[in-house]
């Protein structure tokens, strides 16, 4: 222990420990960034993700038009690069005269929120159940594993569609529908990892030295599992975003008056022949975001967990 002032009090000592931990984390983070520089595509992906996040958070400040208010006189104006378009509506307007760029930016809120929250909850549930099941085994494990198998019998989209049909449109319902099956993957992953980690020496050592089960799980094993889980999570966010868009496209996701990319594409179908941008532009927003997430996630995986690499 070092003798800098403030360490004689208990709070002082805790603060000191935490400061050290923060330092370590910060250094790890910088190291990560350094590594990332070797993967230009992943960096590009990360940059775009930040751009989307920025747009979603500051939507009110950076947009000029109202995403919900239409003006019939401005219906179906083409994007700026067409001869009839103008820079007032850079990506054109939809059938109600609403600015598409504005709605795409607001739509980012929905997609990002749904993606992050549903994956987040799935991770928490899956991780918790998986570590417990893998560690303790026994009845708990078999019950939850059976349940997971059962849920796996349904193709994802069908399950989600079915649930949304019964729950009705709505943000909370959407999250519920997506996480209801979403946790299974994380459960299996953490359980598998737990099973293999459990046999390692450091676990035996911890047991011998009298650590409680809880602290073994939490302090020793968990950090090793988290990396794999984290990598899977980043890849799943893109998938959840596509799921949300598909549900909204079918009319089973977000209520129609809230701008969401999927429902924007669906609404634009009627005008495909005269105004193809109404459908294609929001879809493009989805593609770019998901592509960036996938690229970033892949890069992350390369760095954190080289043994999972798909590349040679």
Partner 1 sequence: MTRLNLRMFTILMVLAVIMAACGPAATPTESIPDEPEAPAPADTQPVEAIPEGGGTVVIAMAAAPVSLDPADHRSRESETVIRNMFDGLVTRDNTSGVHLQLAESMDWVDEQTLEIKLREGVKFHDGTEMTADDVVFTFERIINDNQIEYPEPHTSPRKGLIAPLESIEKTGDHSVVMHFSGPWPPAMQLLVHQQIVPKAYIEEVGTQGFIEQPIGTGPFKFVSAQPGYEEVVLERFDDYYGGSPDLAPAGTACVEKVVFRVIPEASTRVSALLAGEVDIITAVPQDLIPNLEANPDIQVTTAAGTQPKWIELNVNQAPFDDVLVRLAMNYAVDKDLIIEQIYGGRAVALPGPLSPFNNFANTSLSPYPYDTTKALDLLKQAGWEDTDGDGFLDKDGETFAFTIDTIESWRPLAEAVADMYRAIGIDANVRFWEYSVIKPQLQAGERMAWLDDWGDSAFDPVGHFEAKWHGFVADTPYGRGNFSGYNNERVNELTEMGETTPDETERHTLYDEAQQLVYDEAPAVFLLLPEEVEAASVNISNWAPASDSRQNMHDVCKSE
Partner 2 sequence: MKAIKVLERILATLPIMFGVAIIVFFFIRLTPGDPVDIMMGQGGAISTGEIEQLREEFHLNEPLHIQLWYFLRDAVQGDLGYSYVLKRPVVELIAERLPATIELAMGALFFSLVIAVPIGIISAVRQNSLLDRLSMSGAFLGISMPGFWLGIVLILVFSVYLHWLPVQGRISVGIELEERTGFFVLDSLLSGNLEALKSSLLHLVLPSITLGAAVAAVTARVLRSSMLETLRSDYVTLARSKGASEWVVVMKHALRNALIPTITVLGLQIGILLGGNMVIETVFGWPGLGRMVVKAIFDRDFPLIQGSVMIYAFIFVMASLIVDILYTYLNPKISL
**Smallest separation (angstroms) from partner 2 to the CB of 107:** 13
Contacted by 223, from partner 1, partner 2, none: CB < 5 to 8 Å by type = none
Output 258 or 289, the one with its CB closest to partner 2: 289
Interface with partner 2 (CB under 8 A), residue from 216, 228, 233, 266:
266
SS3 assignment, position 64 = coil
- Which entry of partner 1, partner 2, none binds 283, CB below 5 to 8 A by partner kind? partner 2
CB atoms near residue 38 (< 10 Å) = 11
Comparison of 1 and 274: residue with beta carbon closer to partner 1: 274
Q: Is 127 left (phi over 0), alpha (psi -120 to 50) or beta?
A: alpha
| Residues listed for the chain | 312
Instruction: Write the binding mask 243 to 262 for partner 2: x where contact by CB under 8 A, - elsewhere.
Output: --xx--xxxx---------x
* Residues 97 and 74: beta-carbon distance below 8 Å: yes
Instruction: Answer yes or no: are the C-beta atoms of 277 and 78 closer than 8 Å.
Output: yes
Among 156, 171, 230, 271, binds partner 2 (CB under 8 A): 156
Phi-psi region of 168 (alpha: psi -120 to 50; beta: other; left: phi over 0): left
Whole-number minimum distance, CB 17 to partner 2, in Å?
Answer: 42
For position 295 contacting partner 2 by CB under 8 A, the verdict is: yes
Residue 96 CB, shortest distance to partner 1, in Å, is 5
Provide, rounded to whole angstroms, the least separation between the CB of residue 92 and partner 2: 15
Of 142, 119, 130, give the one whose Cα is nearest residue 222: 130
Q: DSSP character for 99?
A: B
Q: What region, left, alpha or beta, does residue 137 occupy, with left being phi > 0 and alpha being psi -120 to 50 degrees?
A: left
Give contact residues for partner 2 (rule: CB under 8 A): 149-150, 153-158, 161-163, 165-166, 238, 242, 245-246, 249-252, 262, 265-266, 269, 272-273, 276, 279-280, 283-284, 286-287, 290-291, 294-295, 298, 309-312
């Amino acid at each position: 222990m070092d003798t800098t002032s403030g360490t004689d009090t208990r709070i002082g000592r805790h603060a000191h420990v935490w400061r050290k931990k923060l330092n370590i984390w910060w250094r790890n983070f910088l190291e990560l960034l350094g590594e990332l520089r070797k993967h230009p595509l992943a960096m590009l992906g990360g940059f775009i993700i930040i751009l989307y996040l920025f747009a979603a958070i500051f939507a009110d400040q950076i947009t000029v038009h109202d995403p919900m208010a239409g003006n019939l006189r401005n219906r179906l104006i083409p994007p700026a690069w067409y001869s009839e378009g103008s820079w007032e509506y850079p990506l054109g307007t939809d059938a109600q005269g609403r600015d598409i760029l504005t709605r795409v930016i607001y739509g980012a809120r929905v997609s990002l929120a749904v993606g992050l929250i549903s994956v987040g909850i799935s991770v928490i549930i899956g991780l918790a159940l998986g570590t417990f099941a893998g560690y303790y085994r026994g009845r708990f494990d078999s019950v939850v594993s059976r349940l997971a198998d059962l849920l796996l019998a349904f193709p994802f989209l069908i399950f989600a569609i079915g649930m949304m049909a019964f729950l009705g449109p709505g943000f909370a319902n959407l999250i519920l529908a997506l996480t209801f099956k979403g946790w299974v993957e994380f459960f299996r992953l953490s359980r598998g990892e737990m099973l293999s980690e459990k046999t390692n020496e450091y676990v035996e050592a911890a047991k011998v030295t009298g650590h409680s089960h809880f602290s073994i799980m939490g302090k020793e094993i968990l950090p090793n599992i988290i990396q794999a889980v984290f990598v899977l999570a980043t890849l799943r966010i893109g998938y959840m975003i596509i799921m949300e868009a598909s549900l909204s496209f079918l009319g089973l996701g977000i209520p129609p008056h809230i701008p969401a990319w999927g429902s924007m594409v669906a609404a634009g179908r009627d005008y495909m022949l005269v105004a193809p941008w109404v459908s294609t532009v929001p879809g493009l927003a989805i593609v770019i975001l998901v592509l960036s997430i996938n690229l970033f996630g892949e890069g992350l995986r390369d760095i954190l967990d080289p043994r999972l690499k798909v590349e040679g």
